[in-house]
Amino acid sequence: MDLLYFLGKRLQFIQRLYDSTVSPFEERKRRIEAGEPPYIDSRDPEYAEEPAFLPEWQESDDSVMVIGQWCLCMVQASLQAYLRECIGHLGSYWWDVERLRLELSKKQGKTWLGRYRLLFLDLRIDWEKGPVSLSDLEQLNLTRDDLTHNIDMTTFSVERVEKHAKRFPSGLFTDELWHGLSIERIKVDTERLALAIHLVTNFCAWLDDIRCRYPAYIKTLDG
């Protein structure tokens, strides 16, 4: 099966979903900041203690933030699904599916991504030789974990857990306004989502090329 085709369809959908759902909230923020109808501040400035329409602006900002967070989770989930199918019945042209699943269950990597990396090393496919930094992929994975497991009921923003921040002091998905402070807030905007999609696309394209021509790939290693 052409796994790369379906991966590409998923990632394109995620990008379109983000663009179409973020736009109305960004436009509302812009109108509030510009004082355009219907967000015209008619208060007496002497008694205005906070910016006009602050709750509406904050809700829009939170909406943009949450949409980005969950789109990033979808990108990470797409990577995980691709790797799962690579060694499953849909993608294993040359490999023994049941044996690979058993071997995967025995791997002792710190994360699911680390376990897959060790399994592919057994197949003589070294991810370090691919076009994407493994630390970048790991940051995508850890950021998804933070977004899922480090929820604070008092806010829609999400912080990096301490071990994540210590491992990657300059986080790919960290809000630059909070970098280096005691709080490391995650930010997924247009550029960061595009980066995540780029990482997964390039990595999986490289791996898929090897998967589809695996016997020839092994011959190049032995030749």
Please write down the HEC assignment for all residues of 67-78. HHHHHHHHHHHH
In the chain, the amino acid numbered 39 is Y
Range 126-150 average pLDDT = 96
- Residue 170, pLDDT above cutoff 90: no
Q: Tokens 């008619």 map to which residue?
A: 42
Where in the sequence is the domain holding 35, given as residue range(s)? 3-222
- CB-based contacts of 212: which residues, under 8 Å, 6+ apart? 93
Question: CA 171 to CA 143: how far, in whole Å?
Answer: 9
The SS3 of residue 79 is helix
Per-residue pLDDT, 133: 95
Per-residue pLDDT, 195: 97
Per-residue pLDDT, 188: 95
Average pLDDT for the chain? 93
- Residue 182, pLDDT above cutoff 70: no
CB crowding 122-137: b at 16 or more within 10 Å, else e: ebebebeebebeeebb
Question: CA 40 to CA 37: how far, in whole Å?
Answer: 6
Confidence of residue 175 (pLDDT cuts 50, 70, 90): confident
What percent of the chain clears pLDDT 70, i.e. is strictly above it?
98
Domains contained in the chain, number: 1
Range 125-136 average pLDDT = 96
Using CA atoms, how far residue 44 sits from 41, 47, 52, in Å, is 9, 6, 11
Dihedral angle, C-alpha 119, 146, 27, 12, nearest 10 °: 10
Question: CA 145 to CA 158: how far, in whole Å?
Answer: 11
For residue 212 the two structure tokens come to 């589809």
Which letter does DSSP use for residue 161 in this model? Answer: P
For residue 62, with 0-12 CB atoms within 10 Å meaning exposed, 13-18 middle and 19 or more buried, which class applies?
Answer: middle
- Residue 154, pLDDT above cutoff 70: yes
